[in-house]
Each structure stands twice: as C-alpha cells, then as structure tokens.
Amino acid sequence: MEQNEKVDTTRRMLIRGVLVGSAVAFLGSALGLGRYTVPPPPTLQPFPRVLLGKASQLQVGQPYQYKYPLANQPNIIVKIGKKAQFGVGPDHDIVSFSNICQHLGCIYVYENNATCPNGATFPGGHCPCHGSHYNFLENGKVMCGPAPRPVPRVILEYDPVTDNIWAIGMAPPTIFGFNTGSDNVAYDLIGGPLIPDGSQATLTPL
C-alpha cells in the first residue's frame, strides 16, 4: 500500500513539473514574440528649427498657414494683438497652433472674434465641421464643441536682435492623426517627410 502511495506521489510531482515547465516555456515564448510583434514607442528625436519670418511682418488678425514639422502637417501662425499665453514677439501676442482639429481631423479656420453658443468671444480656431472652438489666448484651450483636448501648440522662439521667429518644436498633445492624444510628441515626427532643419517656411495668408 505504501509502495503504491509513493508511486502516485512521484507521478503527481512529475506531472506537475511538466505542466509548470510547459507554462514557463510558453510564457517565455509569448514574451519573446511580443518583442517582435509590438513596436516600441518612438524615442524623441530633435525637431527641426525652421524660420517663420520676422515679427514685424505679421499684421494683427491676419493668420498664415505653413507646414511643420512634417510636410503634411499644416499650422497657423497669427499676431493676435493681445498678450497670449506662450505668446512671443515684442508684444507677446504671436502664437502658432496645429491647423488640424482634434475632434475628427478637419481643417479649422481662424477668427478674430470666435464665438461659442454661450456667448464667449475670443481670438482662435473655429472648426466648421462640428463646431469645436479653440482659444488662442489660452494655449489652444477648447471653449466649446466636441473636441476632447486642446489643439497642439507650435513652440516658437523669438530673437529680438534679428526680429526672427523660429518654430523649434511641438507641445503635447500630439497632432491629430499621429497617435492622436498621446503626450509623446515624437509621434508628430513620424508619417511624412520632415521639414529640413534650418530652412525657411512658406507662409500662406488665409
């Protein structure tokens, strides 16, 4: 009787060992496979530094469109005429934002007096597709409409000696369509031709 119990115990231990070993081997294979099937998040690479022009050449209330940091990413730059959050230039009133709505990717328009249904009026973006409004005085803040997050801001650098304005990067969230909503702005640099570092952008009046 004791001999049979020893045999059963040994058999159970053997079976358990085989099952545990198989599970470990499967888990190891799955993790190894994951390294090849799940792409790692991109690492932040330097944004191009692109000349946008001189601050004195911008007229109050006149928006311009240009491409940055990729050739398929439109942005708006405008001199608002009022001091804005993160504004640059002598009057801290020049700002720039992605021209792609954060709701469904429509191209929105700039209005000096954008107005929400609640009566709030501000200089900023108005998307004609579904009514999202962005306040350019407050870092692209959503004022009304279905957009779930602010429109991404282009980081500007102003040189008071030369009066030049440069685009030097993007602030989060990511541009719509480039891993939308992520805080990793490296995604803004993937998916199209990069604007050459040190080049000058073409500003198109809107």
Burial (CB count <10 Å: 0-12, 13-18, 19+), residue 192 = middle
Asked if 99 and 183 sit in the same domain, the reply is yes
pLDDT band at 39 (very low <50, low <70, confident <90, very high): low
Q: Say which amino acid occupies 43.
A: T
Where in the sequence is the domain holding 132, given as residue range(s)?
50-205
Based on the domain organization, do 167 and 75 belong to the same domain?
A: yes
Three-class secondary structure of residue 49 per DSSP: coil
Which of 2-11, 18-27, 120-129, 176-185 is the least confident region?
18-27
Same structural domain, 66 and 150: yes
Each residue's pLDDT tens digit, 139-154: 999 999 999 999 999 9
pLDDT of 38 higher than 90: no
Q: Is residue 194's pLDDT more than 60?
A: yes
Per-residue pLDDT reduced to its tens digit, 81-118: 999 999 999 999 999 999 999 999 999 999 999 999 99
89 lies in some domain: yes
DSSP 133: E
Does 45 fall in a domain? no
CA distance 147 to 98: 14
Residue at 134 is within a domain: yes
Domain count across the chain = 2
Residues 1 and 76 in one domain: no
Note whether residue 125 is domain-resident. Answer: yes
**Other CB atoms within 10 A of residue 152 CB:** 25
Q: Is the pLDDT of residue 6 over 50?
A: no
Residues in the chain: 206
C-alpha to C-alpha distances, 176 to 75, 77, 98, nearest whole angstrom: 12, 18, 9
CA 156, 183, 80, 206 torsion-angle sign: positive
Same domain, 112 and 169: yes
Residue 72 CA to residue 87 CA, distance in Å, equals 25
H-only helix segments in the chain: 2-37
116 CB-side CA count, 13 A: 16
Share the mean pLDDT of the chain. 87
Average pLDDT over residues 187-191: 96
Given a contact cutoff of 8 angstroms between Cβ atoms, the answer to whether 172 and 159 are in contact is: no
Tell me what percent of the residues of the chain surpass a pLDDT of 70. Answer: 81
Give the amino acid at 75: N
Indicate whether 43 belongs to any domain.
no
- 16-20, 59-63, 80-84, 179-183: the lowest-pLDDT one: 16-20
Q: What is the pTM of this model?
A: 0.80
In a domain, 44, yes or no: no
42-73 tens-digit pLDDT? 787 899 999 999 999 999 999 999 999 999 99
Q: How confident is the model at residue 16 (pLDDT cuts 50, 70, 90)?
A: low
Cβ-contact 166, 54 below 8 angstroms: no
Q: Taking residues 171-183, what's their average pLDDT?
A: 96
